[in-house]
Amino acid sequence: MKHAVVVGSGAGGATVAKELQGRFAVTVLEARQEFHPLSLGLPAMELVKGAGLLLDERQMSLFFPTLQARKAADMVLVNGIGLGGTTTICTGNALRMDRGLRAMGIDLDDEFAEVRREIPITTAHQKRWRQHTRRLFQICCELGLDPQPMPKMGDYERCVGCGRCVLGCPTGAKWDSRRFLQIARDHGAQVITHCRALRVATENGRATGVVARHGWAQQFYPADVVVVAAGGLGTPALLESSGIPCEPRLFVDPVLCVAARWENARQCQEVEMPFVVQRDHYILSPYFDYVSFLFNKAWRCPAKDTLGITIKLADSATGSISRRQVHKALTMADRERLCGAIETGRDILRRFGAKDQDMFLGTLNAGHPGGMLPLGEGEAASMHHSRLPDNLYVADATLLPQSLGNPSILTIIAVAKRVVKLIA
């Protein structure tokens, strides 16, 4: 049987492993360890914060080792680095966002239909919304913003409303890509943790395998097919190290929370992003922002008394990453759109009853990177960038031509499914 090496275990990598195992003998390389939800409770976090021990967002990995935080210009980039990638620390949203791909002639209808058959997608969490969430939804309706309950991946009948979606769902209600990895394992795939891919080896224009560091040793994993799905930050860095140049077109979907003090809001005990408002270039959704709460000095209120609306921006594709550094800043157009989104968020909170003097902004952060090896129209049929050797594929947001400004996991899974079909 031929061998396939998959780099990364997030949405794209786990999908590829599940779909390819059986047709190939699959080996998945994951740079970090098995994922475990953060055990530290919110009261303990508040104690650490109150003691003045949290000074820099990069400290998050000290108590949550499968989360990585990096700084680029005036924003913090956050991603999952354990088994399951960022799917383990996301909010479980399931939105189809392939308009840019469709405009290029890439029809993923069949793949999205497959995803919906394989992953439970529901809005059942709506019946658990607290009073404040229902009021925010009504205000958005009154403002003509057309809010929609957010479809979520998983079994939300099991959701206990703990508000810890981004810290690792403690009940297993939220789906993450470890489910696909387990299916691949059950069918014989090998998943190797603590194995950091260093470069893709090539010879005579073809990929021959992956050189990786496993523990203290460097090892070569031979392959007939290599699929890189290390995420929008990891994949470009690996390709560059392999002598395959990417493009300085990094997008990151910046997130900024507009919040207000509201006694006993208890949003920290609510499912994250329960509904969504779609606007040109950004979305709005209720959200308790742990990054801002823990590290932003403006967030002085107790967690239970903080009410927030998050903005997710579709940013310009102007940035890059290497093994050592990320270069990414907002453009003037990005900042203008963000200012408009902030004012819409403030207006929602005003109508809720919050006073301007009780409002504050969060930390600009981001977690949906991609775009540094975007597909062109000539590559729509093959889903294979012309810079890649014939048997080397990419299966994550690196292929997307533009920022989605929206949750991306569902779209990445569909893209990965199409890539597998073309490989097989």
Is 389:205 a contact under the CB 8 Å cutoff?
yes
CA torsion, ordered 375, 386, 20, 417, to nearest 10 deg:
20
Measured in whole angstroms, how far is the alpha carbon of residue 157 from the centre of its chain? 23
pTM for this model (two decimals) = 0.97
Is 415:13 a contact under the CB 8 Å cutoff?
no
- The DSSP line for 213-225 is EETTEEEEEE-SE
pLDDT of residue 356: 97
Q: Give the span between the Cα atoms of 188 and 227, in whole angstroms.
A: 18
- The DSSP line for 123-147 is -GGGGG--HHHHHHHHHHHHTT---
For 158-210, the pLDDT digits (tens) are 898 899 999 999 999 999 999 999 999 999 999 999 999 999 999 999 999 99
Is 86:117 a contact under the CB 8 Å cutoff?
no
Token digits for 9?
């275990």
Strand, helix or coil at 279?
Answer: strand
Residue ranges per domain, the chain?
3-34+176-245+371-423, 45-81+122-168+250-366
Can 3-34+176-245+371-423 and 45-81+122-168+250-366 be said to share one CATH topology? no
Q: Give the span between the Cα atoms of 60 and 284, in whole angstroms.
A: 25
Is 25:2 a contact under the CB 8 Å cutoff?
yes
Rounded to the nearest integer, the mean pLDDT of the chain is 95
Closest CA to 313 of 270, 275, 387, 364: 364
Cα–Cα distances (Å) from 393 to 24, 210, 227, in that order, read: 15, 13, 5
For 101-139, the pLDDT digits (tens) are 999 999 999 999 999 999 999 999 999 999 999 999 999
pLDDT of residue 53: 87
Q: Give the span between the Cα atoms of 61 and 114, in whole angstroms.
A: 35
* DSSP-assigned letter for residue 376: P
pLDDT of residue 164: 94
Which of these CATH numbers, 3.40.50.300, 3.50.50.60, 3.90.930.60, 3.40.50.460, describes 3-34+176-245+371-423? Answer: 3.50.50.60
Residue with tokens 């939105």: 95
pLDDT band at residue 261 using 50, 70 and 90 as cut-offs: very high
Q: Give the span between the Cα atoms of 73 and 143, in whole angstroms.
A: 34
- The DSSP line for 148-213 is EEPPEEB-TTS----S-GGG--SSS-B--THHHHHHHHHTT-EEESSEEEEEEEEETTEEEEEEEE
For 1-54, the pLDDT digits (tens) are 999 999 999 999 999 999 999 999 999 999 999 999 999 999 999 999 998 888
45-81+122-168+250-366 carries CATH number 2.40.10: no
pLDDT band at residue 424 using 50, 70 and 90 as cut-offs: confident
Closest CA to 351 of 147, 140, 146, 148: 140
